[in-house]
Chain A
């Protein structure tokens, strides 16, 4: 029915040089042809790519599209007939109801708007400590290691109860899952040592509960294995996403000086600025779903079993939803971006991320009014598109000391 769909054959596509904040041109172009395109998955499996805001949102809200890991196909690797096992206990991102709810429900009360706002003062403290350290060490510095990673890392570790002395090595392990460049061998090694670490941590919390989310969860019917899976999801998500939003967000602001100046001089802009940066950058850029039955999507039939790629970053640049979508405008009024997803899997930690970003970004640009890149912008090393979370590997910055 309808027009034959546009076909996209290359994934992941790369970003155009000089446009590190824009989704790859092929995806933006696919959206121009319509909100849904065909994408042939490896091994000749017919799949789909959705780039339009409304359709991405409706698929995310539709229980006929599954998040179960065992039903997923990799968009670029042909695993042939290898059977993918279901997600391990606790790793609820890759599950459907009711399995998903078993893990999300006990966590919901831990990440409420009110609870996260109570952490504001602590975020301010950690932010100030790191800005002080940057100032004392003097320019130049790598903003990723000096600021963007430690602030969210300390917050999620404190919230979950990861001991202070373990943070550094733990963060390195998690980074190696997420940077999109780790060899399979190193990936397995990092995963195994993280699992071992979390097993010890869960056992320690059970023996001596402290005031943190993981300890609280030991007082439920969740098993150690389940707690380990939950901790892995929360830590990986909490460490990597906000860190990349902070670093890439700073890079974007430095490339839009008039926007940066607006944020610096108008603190009431902070909330809106954070939402706009989330929309504009959308670091968690694509997610997968699998149709459980035949579903009509945008005038096409997505057959049962078909894999679907949801392009959040392209949806967040949909001109039918956002006026002048490729412009970073911190005063933008139209909310409703998909940076945290939609539907039952919408980011559990989003209110924590908001508190961190709305404290850390204005504090950074206010403390260092002459902050600028220490290298030409094209030399800023970006994460590859194969990384689950987009961002910069390092962000060399300098200022007038």
Chain B
């Protein structure tokens, strides 16, 4: 999550609110850096929908 790129659209929260939230400045914050498997599709969609390409997905463990 690159907070400097975030434009506060809220798309990630709308798409996967178990994993993302916004702080008081509107910037996205990651609630669960290792999202559970059940949220995987939603997280992928959130990455895809982010208008500012501020979220990345890593498969590293």
Question: Which of B21, B49, B52 has a CB less than 8 Å from the CB of A114?
Answer: B21
Partner of A335, one of B13, B26, B49, B53: B49
CA distance A341 to B51 in the complex (A): 8
Using CB atoms and an 8 Å cutoff, list the residues of chain B in contact with chain A.
6-11, 13-15, 17, 21-27, 45, 48-49, 51-53
Q: Are A108 and B17 in contact (CB under 8 A)?
A: no
Give the distance in Å from the alpha carbon of A111 to the alpha carbon of B7 in the complex: 11
CB<8 Å pairs between A and B, sample of 29: A61-B51, A61-B52, A61-B53, A105-B25, A107-B8, A107-B26, A108-B6, A108-B27, A109-B8, A109-B23, A109-B24, A109-B26, A111-B8, A111-B10, A112-B22, A113-B14, A113-B22, A114-B13, A114-B21, A116-B10, A341-B51, A342-B51, A343-B51, A344-B7, A344-B51, A346-B7, A346-B11, A346-B52, A347-B9
Known: A104-B7, A350-B9, A350-B10. A112 touches B26 (CB 8 A): yes
Closest to A271 in B: B14
Chain B: interface secondary structure?
A: loop
| Residue from B21, B23, B24, B53 having most chain A Cβ neighbours under 10 A | B24
A218 at interface, CB cutoff 8 A? no
| Bound complex: CA A185 to CA B50 (Å) | 41
Closest to A346 in B: B51
Contacts of B24 in A (CB 8 A): 109
Tell me the A residues contacting B by CB distance below 8 Å.
60-61, 104-105, 107-114, 116, 335-336, 340-344, 346-348, 350-351, 354
Shortest distance in angstroms between A37's beta carbon and chain B's nearest beta carbon?
Answer: 25
Given contacts A113-B10, A113-B13, A346-B7, contact A108 B52 (CB under 8 A): no
CA gap between A261 and B57 in the complex, in Å: 40
Does the CB pair B7–A108 fall under 8 Å? Answer: yes
Q: Are A344 and B8 in contact (CB under 8 A)?
A: no
> By the criterion CB–CB under 8 Å, are A109 and B25 in contact?
yes
Residues from chain A with Cβ under 8 Å of B22 in the complex: 109, 112-114
Give the Cβ gap from A321 to chain B, nearest Cβ, in Å: 12
| Cβ-defined contact, B13 with A343, below 8 A | no
